[in-house]
Amino acid sequence: MNENERLRASFEQAASIYQQARPDYPEALFDRLIRTTQLKPGARLLEVGCATGKATLPLAKRGFAITCVELGAELAAAARQNLIGTEVDVINANFEDWQPAAGAGFDLVYAATAWNWVDPKMRYRKAWQVLRPDGHLAFWNAAHVFPDGGDPFFRDIQTVYHEIGEGRPVADNDWPRPGELLEQKAEIEESGLFEVAEIRHFDWERVYRAEAYIRLLETFSGHILMEQGKRDKLFDEIRSRLSRRPDQSVRRHWGAVLHIARRRS
């Protein structure tokens, strides 16, 4: 198992807390996705890497029939539980190897905070193959952004990451502002299989008390695989620092870049 595969598989360990700990995506993102793709209730969607259903449930509630292909068995089981009562079928499989039923065709293939984990040599070709001729591909991530005047906690806590040997080298893109997250337009066009229909940035804020923020960190691959002693030191320091704040909380800004691409004939 290479490093990317090890990181990708690590999310299984967070299956029991992922749905609660990870942030919901903005309703405006789903509204824009539906408006641009002109999806109608009853349309058939394929989700790549649904995890526990964070992006699945909002679309299922809008009346779409969704097939989810999720690599992790524990994540797939949690998704089935979270999606009871919806028209969603969760399949525990590797998207790169999975094959749809004969004659199946999807109106939309989408991935929420999962597209970058799919083999870049295969993902566009596989999405193109399972889409209907006029279908769309959409993907986005939930990433940390740092607005001017944002919470200084995240820069301050970097000293602890460096003390435990988990600090990252300083680079210009380590602290992206809202609207500065990487766009993958060139990658989409270079596939030769899709044309970009729209790229749009979204940002939102959530406030976390210490234990909620620690649960969030426990859903990130780098923290999941961190040595226990390092995790303990980091989490204890987070608790200590936040306990000294008047509101005992931290403000984290999230950003997402919604990519929507139209299938070429």
- Note the pLDDT tens digit of each residue in 191-201: 999 999 999 99
pLDDT at 24 over 90: yes
Supply the pTM of this predicted model. 0.95
Across residues 19-45, what is the average pLDDT?
A: 97
Report the pLDDT value the prediction gives residue 171, as an integer from 0 to 100.
61
Query: Identity (one letter) of the amino acid at 229?
Result: G
pLDDT at 1 over 80: no
Phi, psi of 19 (to 5 degrees): -65, -40
109 Cβ neighbours under 8 A, 6+ residues apart: 45, 46, 47, 48, 127, 130, 131, 135, 136, 137, 138
CB 225 within 8 A of CB 7: yes
Calpha distance 140→25 (Å, rounded): 10
Calpha distance 17→92 (Å, rounded): 19
Long-range CB pairs of 224-230 (<8 Å, 24+ gap) are 224/10, 224/11, 224/13, 224/14, 225/6, 225/7, 225/10, 226/166, 230/164, 230/165, 230/166
Report the pLDDT value the prediction gives residue 101, as an integer from 0 to 100.
84
pLDDT at 170 over 60: yes
Structural domains for the chain? 3-146+174-205+253-263 (3.40.50.150)
Token code pair at residue 145? 């952004």
- Note the pLDDT tens digit of each residue in 200-243: 999 999 999 999 999 999 999 999 999 999 999 999 999 999 99
As a residue count, the chain comes to 265
- Note the pLDDT tens digit of each residue in 48-70: 999 999 999 999 999 999 999 99
